[in-house]
Amino acid sequence: MADSMFTVAGQDMAVDLGTANTLVYVRNRGVVLNEPSVVAINTFTNEALAVGMDAKRMIGRTPSYIQAIRPLRDGVINHFDVAERMLRYFIDKVHRRRWSKPRIVVCVPSGITGVERRAVEEAAYQAGARRAYTIDEPMAAAIGCGMPVSEPKGSMVVDIGGGTTEVAVIALGGIVVSKSIRVGGDEMDGRIIEWVKKEHNLLLGPRTAEQIKMMIGSAYPFNDEPGAEVCGRDLMSGLPKTILLTAAEVRNAIEETVSAIVDAVRVTLDNTPPELAADLMELGIVITGGGALLQVLDQRIAYETGMLVKIAERPLQSVVIGSGRCLEQYEVLHPVLASTSH
């Protein structure tokens, strides 16, 4: 790039370290990387064999000595060294100008501990950061959804990820009320597997279950519901078998998860101070994260809370876009970032 001598800051980057997907945003370039948060490890040598897309393809297909690990699966970092390696791998992949030292903002689940937060910063320094920051996921999501987070007005964001759902009310640049539950898209997949096993004696893999959810999953009945042909292993014969699954069955299977998400929204509304609650009545709730794409989930939440519910424009990207905006508008938004000096 001809102008690279003069745009060192152009490599500043934001990373959304999600439980299901990791995204990287580079200043002035936008989202440049979007891959599953998965690492395949050789358990004999402890070597990482693949990261991201390549590693996700291995889930459920690995020989016994390879383990596909999702280091943030439940919103806490349960495989710390693996998470660190993954973060460094993704940053390295996009950080091309090695002589420039970028600012790096890493968005972390709000449930992680202070120690984990510092270790995430450390991993960013190891990967070449000049300064590393962390930002809480709901704050990043709200900024990415274009909500007026710095104003004296309340905004509510609901981020439904793979391993967690985070509900937060934000005003004056801070989180006023929040609730994080360890329930999200993964649990829906698990419930679909259980249902199909119980009702059809058929064993499904997690990736098939996820595809079914995306294709015909829903939170509320709607017109012309589709069905889907699903292939798994018959538990009686041990052979592959295909069945027809209806949208109503899938909805039943995931109902408990969906109602846990709706309850988290209701509890947070209950705990919201009255002035802010009045703002929410006016502005409505924004839902984001991959789970916001579940069909008619917006209508279900609207029906059960009596609030106006909007789906974010790009649910899978709002967190990384919001973190990226903190770099683009550093002067205005830096108060929402956390950083321990290095």
> Could you list the residues that contact ligand ADP (CB under 6 A)?
18-21, 161-163, 184-186, 210, 213-214, 217, 289-291, 293-294, 316
Touching Mg ion, residues 123-182 (CB under 5 A): 161
The 318-337 site mask, x for binding Mg ion (CB under 5 A), equals -x------------------
Q: How many CB atoms lie within 10 A of CB 318?
A: 26
d(CA 268, CA 113): 22
Coil vs helix vs strand at 292: helix
* Least CB distance to ligand ADP at residue 47 (A): 25
Question: Residue 186 touches which of ligand ADP, Mg ion, none (CB < 5 to 8 A by kind)?
Answer: ligand ADP
* Residue 316 interaction partner, one of ligand ADP, Mg ion, none, beta carbon < 5-8 Å per kind: ligand ADP
Of the pair 19, 272, the CB lying nearest Mg ion is at: 19
**What is the nearest approach in angstroms of ligand ADP to the Cβ of residue 245?**
15
CA–CA distance, 324 with 11 (Å, rounded to integer) = 11
CA distance 51 to 84: 12
Is residue 15 within a helix (H) or strand (E), and if so which, with residue range?
Answer: strand 13-17
Shortest Cβ distance from residue 216 to ligand ADP (Å)?
10
The least CB distance from residue 232 to ligand ADP, in Å, is 18
**Nearest residue (CB) to Mg ion, 158 versus 230:** 158
List the single partner that 193 binds among Mg ion, ligand ADP, none, CB under 5 to 8 Å by kind.
none
Smallest gap from Cβ 36 to ligand ADP, in A, equals 8
Question: Which residues have C-beta within 8 Å of that of residue 22, sequence separation ≥ 6?
Answer: 15, 16, 33, 34, 35, 36, 37, 52, 86, 87, 90
* Of the candidate residues 14, 17, 18, 185, the single one contacting Mg ion (CB under 5 A): 18
Rounded-to-integer distance, Cα 91 and Cα 22, Å: 11
Which residue, 11 or 323, is less far from ligand ADP as judged by CB?
Answer: 323
Tell which residue, 297, 323, 324, 291, has the closest CA to residue 310. 297
Buried b (16+ CB within 10 A) or exposed e, 118-140: bbbbbbbeebbbbbbbbbbbbbb
In the complex, what is the shortest distance from the CB of residue 342 to ligand ADP, in angstroms, rounded to a whole number?
Answer: 27
Q: How crowded is residue 291: how many other Cβ atoms within 10 Å of its Cβ?
A: 29
291 binds Mg ion (CB under 5 A): no
Which residues of the chain form contacts with Mg ion (CB under 5 A)? Answer: 18, 161, 319
